[in-house]
Structure 1
Amino acid sequence: MDFKEIKIAIIIPTYKESESISILADRILTIFPNAKIIIVDDSPVKENTKIKEQFKKKKDTINICSRFKKEGRGSAVIVGFKQALKNKATDFFFEMDADLAHNPDEIVNFLKKRNQADVIVGSRYLSESKITQWPLRRLILSKTINAFLKIWLGINLTDYTNGFRMYNRKSIEYVCSVSLKEKGFILLSEVIYRLKKAGFKIIEIPITFKDRTYGKSNAGIREHVNSLIGLVRIRFS
């Protein structure tokens, strides 16, 4: 089957990612020319203008939702999903990071498994996964957090915090219909928890993860503290 014919939408949350987003979007459209890309941008006006300028000739395939202030990765993705759902022809919905940490060539690996689950999570921690150019400190922190989440939330996954995922329409309709408590990175874990409790099937596939090529991480100390507080809210929601 020609995977290019499958109707997909790809949600990309951005915050000061003007250096990398055009590279990522071009790579996606080279592989999947019919994909719909929705960029939800929280950058200030000046940075947002740069992004709009890059895509002014691609309005048919790339939609930019501008919020002009940092409201959280999680809430950005939900805004994108709600917009993508308006197109009744779209069958599968992706989210991925803008910093080139996720390889768009691997989108096809998700689509190959599309009939096996409602949600497919790209994991950095399966035996066939690969991680390159990531500082050891961040790797240890990420593995520790995910080990804790596995115990705390009671779901047998290896990677709760990676934002490279594919959802079918039914699962996204559910996510967009419930009242989610979180807005930041920790929403990745809340979505998994809510979907699993609702009976959706979730599987993982290995991915190749590369540390960001441009810019710097937007997850500061405040984000980590808010995530810890969020975990308590999620577990007892």
Structure 2
Amino acid sequence: MVVPTYNERDNLDWILGRLLTAEPDVEVLVVDDSSPDGTGALADDLAARDARVHVLHRTAKGGLGAAYLAGFAWALEAGYDVVGEMDADGSHQPEQLRSLLDALPSADLVIGSRWVPGGSVVNWPWHRKALSRGGNLYVRALLGIGVRDATAGYRLFHRATLDKIDLASVRSTGYVFQTDLATRTVRAGLTVREVPIEFVERVRGDSKMSGQVAIESLRRITAWGLRERLAQVGRAVPGRRRPVGVSR
């Protein structure tokens, strides 16, 4: 499991302890973006005490997507066949990882979903729930994918899935990274399964999500959707050339 961190010292030991107790065969890669609160040093201490914990230090805070890409590259180079994502703040409960693992044999990507039947969110105000539901509805409508929680970050990928979706061309560095990879998986003709989870709002530390981050994500998604609609028109009109030189 790849666990990105930035100023998560108060949560890291607690969440890794829960994860390794719930799933003793799982290994963890902490990707720390030079947290000024000492999260990286704590991760090193945990790794020294438990061979299942590994640490990748990055020199600057480069965004969630960039941290995951670095973690995926590390995991693929190390030869892992399954690579997962999980938040460090306790929002993704390690005790529910088993339901994602059980779904993996019949899917290329498994998403722990808040917005499928049986999924839920704890301690979010109504407007935040509405924003998340509305954002996912917008993604489905504009990008034409059936994933109900494309912004979710509790995931498992097969190695082959990551190989097929061309990680080298991913340019998403923020939270929109999650939507990007879900969309790439669907458009590669691969199978996405969503399993219900209970998402719990963090109780310690500060959330990295902000209004500015949400607006930037919607802007990127809108651009992708318009680009796809133009490409569809180009494919439908004989002799019209498809746009070139565009990457996410």
Q: Does 2:23 match 1:23?
A: no
Unmatched 5+ stretches in structure 1: 1-9
Q: Can you list the C-alpha shifts for 1:4-23, whole angstroms capped at 9, x where unaligned?
A: xxxxxx00111111111111
Deviates more, 1:43-52 or 1:111-120: 43-52
Tell me the CA shift for residue 37 of structure 1: 0.5
Partner of 2:63: 72
Query: Superposed, which structure 2 residues align to 1:171-182 within 5 Å?
Result: 171-175=161-165, 177-182=167-172
CA distance in 1, matches of 2:49, 2:163: 27
**Could you tell me whether the CA contact under 8 Å between 1:181 and 1:233 is conserved in 2?**
no
Partner of 2:190: 200
The equivalent position to 1:42 in structure 2, one of 33, 41, 49, is 33
Matched residue of 1:39: which SS? strand
Unmatched 5+ stretches in structure 2: 228-246
Q: TM-score, normalised by structure 1?
A: 0.88
**Could you tell me whether the CA contact under 8 Å between 2:119 and 2:198 is conserved in 1?**
yes
Q: Does 2:141 match 1:151?
A: yes
Tell me the CA shift for residue 45 of structure 1: 4.2
Q: Judging changes above 3 Å, is the alpha-carbon distance between structure 1 residues 202 and 56 closer, same or farther for their aligned structure 2 residues?
A: closer
Q: Judging changes above 3 Å, is the alpha-carbon distance between structure 1 residues 176 and 41 closer, same or farther for their aligned structure 2 residues?
A: farther
Partner of 1:139: 129
Give the AA of the match of 1:131.
V
Choose between structure 1 and 2: higher helix proportion.
2
Aligned length: 227
Q: Does 2:76 match 1:96?
A: no
RMSD between superposed Cα atoms in Å: 1.8
Give the AA of the match of 1:213.
V
Give the AA of the match of 2:122.
T
Tell me the CA shift for residue 131 of structure 1: 1.7
Partner of 1:52: 43
Tell me the CA shift for residue 164 of structure 1: 0.3
Give the greater-gyration-radius structure (CA). Answer: 2
Q: TM-score, normalised by structure 2?
A: 0.85
* Runs of 4+ in structure 1 over 3 Å off: 43-46, 175-178, 232-235
Matched residue of 1:203: which SS? strand
Q: Can you list the C-alpha shifts for 1:75-132, whole angstroms capped at 9, x where unaligned?
A: 11111111011232x3321101111001111111111112211001111011211221
